[in-house]
Amino acid sequence: MTEVENKLPAETPLSPKKRAIIVGASSGIGAALAHRLADEGFLVALLARRAEMLEKLTNEINSKHGETRAINYIHDVTDYESVPELLKKIISDLGGLDTFVYNAGISVMVGLKKYDFEKDRQTFDVNLNGALAWLNPVAELFQNLKSGQIVGVSSVAGERGRVGNPSYNVSKAALTCYLEALRNRLTRYGVNVLTVKPGPVETDMIKDVDGVLFPISAEQAAGDIFNAMRKRKQEVYTSARWRWIMLVVRNIPSFIFRKMTF
Ligand SMILES: NC(=O)c1ccc[n+]([C@@H]2O[C@H](COP(=O)([O-])OP(=O)(O)OC[C@H]3O[C@@H](n4cnc5c(N)ncnc54)[C@H](OP(=O)(O)O)[C@@H]3O)[C@@H](O)[C@H]2O)c1
């Protein structure tokens, strides 16, 4: 038994423990989901770069429950080579894995009339390549186990190419498409793949953006995600009204969309 495993509460028939990894857990939606999963009895492994934020969150969760329900690992998702070993270590520490959440994401603004490959590449490295680095080995594991749940936090922003932040739109469109492909591969093995499409959520990511439409709290987003996980849905918009807003937005003809400034 590893040192970390020793600290985790043991699973018993009357107290079954689900084990989850959240990549991108230090703030916002990831942190709120960490709380929610721990509240629901999960053991959670929390990953991100900011050590202090992760430590604070871990302590909050563990003192709230009076036992170790959260452990953390400092990790930068662009350190792709480290993923297979780290995944093995976390699974060994948790004593297994039932749920994997890829939530890490950045939005690097370029400017309405500007073009910047370096910023575009950073966006892709975190939002897409980091997701592939983690989801490939997790998909293979769950395929072999014939069980498990994958949750990918994409965005409504992936549904159209817009003037404001093209590379963010593309990174999320690609992530959504990749998650669909994973679902088509893995459903036959009993693995659920949930694509999360948030509209605006009040987190650090949008703190400098003015005039966002229908923002919700990170806790509300986490609640919607958890309900969708429980029902083993394939896709969830949070809040739910964004399903209908995006139905309209997806169908705005290009000759009108080209004149829009959002
Ligand atoms: N807020 C919104 O309106 C909104 C809307 C649609 C979709 N989303 C998506 O929701 C997800 C969560 O975002 P949020 O709104 O909760 O913003 P946030 O508070 O900024 O959270 C982003 C998370 O990603 C992690 N992250 C970023 N770069 C990373 C890296 N290189 N390595 C490891 N972790 C990294 C951050 O941790 P560290 O910085 O500590 O590494 C943080 O935990 C993102 O995928 C975002 O695209 C958000």
Can you give the pLDDT at residue 50? 98
1 falls within a domain? no
Residue 53 lies in a domain: yes
Instruction: Report the distance separating Cα 27 and Cα 16, nearest Å.
Output: 27
Q: Tell me the C-alpha distance between 215 and 185, whole Å.
A: 34
Residues having CB closer than 6 A to ligand 1 are 24-30, 48-50, 53, 75-78, 103-106, 126, 153, 155, 198, 200-201, 203-206
Atom of ligand 1 nearest to the CA of 200: 3
**Domain annotation covers residue 170:** yes
Q: What is the pLDDT of residue 210?
A: 86
Say what the pLDDT of residue 211 is. Answer: 85
- Cα 207 to ligand 1 centroid, rounded to whole Å: 12
Is residue 148 within 8 Å of residue 191, measured between CB atoms? Answer: yes
Q: Read off the CATH number of the domain in which 246 is found.
A: 3.40.50.720
Specify the pLDDT at position 125. Answer: 98
Residue 142 near residue 136, CB atoms below 8 Å: no
Query: What is the span of the domain harbouring residue 104?
Result: 7-257
**Does the annotation mark 115 as catalytic?**
no
Look at residues 191, 153, 162 and name the one whose alpha carbon lies nearest to residue 30: 153
Q: What is the rounded distance in angstroms from the CA atom of residue 82 to the CA atom of residue 177?
A: 25
Distance 227 CA to ligand 1 centre (A): 21
Question: Over its length of 262 residues, how does the chain's per-residue pLDDT go in tens digits?
Answer: 455 555 667 666 656 679 999 999 999 999 999 999 999 999 999 999 999 999 999 999 999 999 999 999 999 999 999 999 999 999 999 999 999 999 999 999 999 999 999 999 999 999 999 999 999 999 999 999 999 999 999 999 999 999 999 999 999 999 999 999 999 999 999 999 999 999 999 999 999 888 899 999 999 999 999 999 999 999 999 999 999 999 999 999 999 999 998 7
Q: What's the total number of domains in the chain?
A: 1
Task: Evaluate whether residue 2 is within a structural domain.
Answer: no
Asked whether residue 262 is domain-assigned, the answer is: no
Residue type, 14: L
Q: Is 14 inside a domain boundary?
A: yes
Q: Which two tokens stand for residue 105?
A: 């994401």
* Residues contacting 66, CB < 8 A, separation 6+: none
